[in-house]
Amino acid sequence: MSDRARLGFIGAGWWATSNHMPLLAARPDVELVAVCGLGADSLARVRERFGFGLATTDVHELLACGLDGVIVSSPHTLHFEHAKAALAAGCHVMIEKPMTTQASQAWELVDLARERGRHLLVPYGWNYKPFVERAAGLVREGVIGEIEFVTCHMASPFATF
């Protein structure tokens, strides 16, 4: 029995390779076991860079590896399908936002995680960043004045893997 968490990734795009994989690969208590995504060339580069034992385009092959947990960072419309399969395989699941594209699917995942005794997590830490906390403080203090309109835009660059 290993004292390291055996993890798999479903989705190997920019967000996973720039954020989750580097942080988890650096941890001594984590083993990056398998990665699943599209494109054999990019998967080979991800496998080499982060030390995954398996790189595959088949979700079911990844889930057959005896993983403790899975990070789902696939396209939004596949989050439900991938998280459900991972939970059914007995894995803890961290699923990127949006959790699903339909509320009923999100509740189905919550119920399945409870039934299986697995953790289901949607990470979002930006609300705890110092600049966000400072902005919230300025709003509370009335420094900014009454907010009448807010717009937000987030763009993701493309990495070449």
Report the candidate in 33, 36, 23 with the shortest Cα–Cα distance to residue 85. Answer: 36
Which two tokens mark 94?
Answer: 């961290």
Which two tokens mark 136?
Answer: 């919230």
Helices (H), the chain: 14-15, 21-25, 40-50, 59-63, 79-88, 103-116, 130-140
Q: Which of 49, 97, 114, 119 is the catalytic position?
A: 97
Per the annotation, the verdict on 97 as an active-site residue is yes
Q: Which residues are catalytic?
A: 97
